[in-house]
Amino acid sequence: MVNKIEHIGIAVKNMEDANVLFEKLLGVPSYKMESVESEGVLTSFFQTGVNKIELLTATNPESPIAKFLEKKGEGIHHIAFDVEDIQAEITRLKNEGFVLINDVPKRGADNKLVVFLHPKNTNGVLVELCQEIR
C-alpha cells in the first residue's frame, strides 16, 4: 500500500536561484542539499509541515533531469510516495500491470530506497516510490 506523498520533485535550471526563491516562497530554508551521482542530480529539500519539496538540477548532460529540462523546461518533475515495503509494492504494482523503470530498488536522496514507474502507465505522471532506509 502507498502511504503519504513523500515529496514533489521540481526540476530547476539554477539551484542557487531556486533555493532563494523557494526559501522566500515557503518561508523556510533548504534543510539538506545532496548529490545523487547515479542519477546525475543535485537535490535540495524543503519541509513545511508534512510537505516536502525536492528541487533537482542536472549535474551531467546524461541526467534524466537534463533531458527533462531540455525537452520541457523547469517544472514539476515527479511525485514521490512513501511506502513501508518497497519490494512488496514492486510485486503488487507489477501484478497490477504497471511498468517499472527500475524493478530493483536503488539508493535515492534523503536516506531512501527508490523505484520509478513509467509515466506512460500513470496518466503522464512520473511516480517514484520511496522506502526509508532503516
Ligand X SMILES: CC[C@H](C(=O)O)C(=O)SCCNC(=O)CCNC(=O)[C@H](O)C(C)(C)COP(=O)(O)OP(=O)(O)OC[C@H]1O[C@@H](n2cnc3c(N)ncnc32)[C@H](O)[C@@H]1OP(=O)(O)O
* Minimum CB distance to ligand X, residue 126 (Å): 4
9 binds Co ion (CB under 5 A): yes
Positions in 22-51 near ligand X (CB under 6 A) = 36, 39, 41, 43
Residue indicated by cell numbers 542536472: 58
64 binds ligand X (CB under 6 A): yes
CB 49 within 8 A of CB 43: no
**Long-range contacts of range 15-22, CB-CB < 8 Å, 24 or more positions apart?**
15/42, 15/44, 15/55, 15/57, 18/44, 18/55, 18/57, 19/44, 19/55, 22/46, 22/53, 22/55
Q: Looking at beta carbons only, is 24 or 124 nearer to ligand X?
A: 124
- SS3 for 118? coil
56 binds ligand X (CB under 6 A): yes
* Minimum CB distance to Co ion, residue 22 (Å): 15
Residue window 93-122: x/- pattern of binding to ligand X, with contact defined by CB under 6 A: --------x------xx--x-x-x-xx---
- 129 is written with which cell numbers? 516510490
- What does the radius of gyration of the chain's CA atoms come to, in whole angstroms? 15
Would you tell me which residues interact with ligand X (CB under 6 A)? Answer: 9, 36, 39, 41, 43, 54, 56, 64-65, 67-68, 71, 77-78, 80, 101, 108-109, 112, 114, 116, 118-119, 124, 126, 128
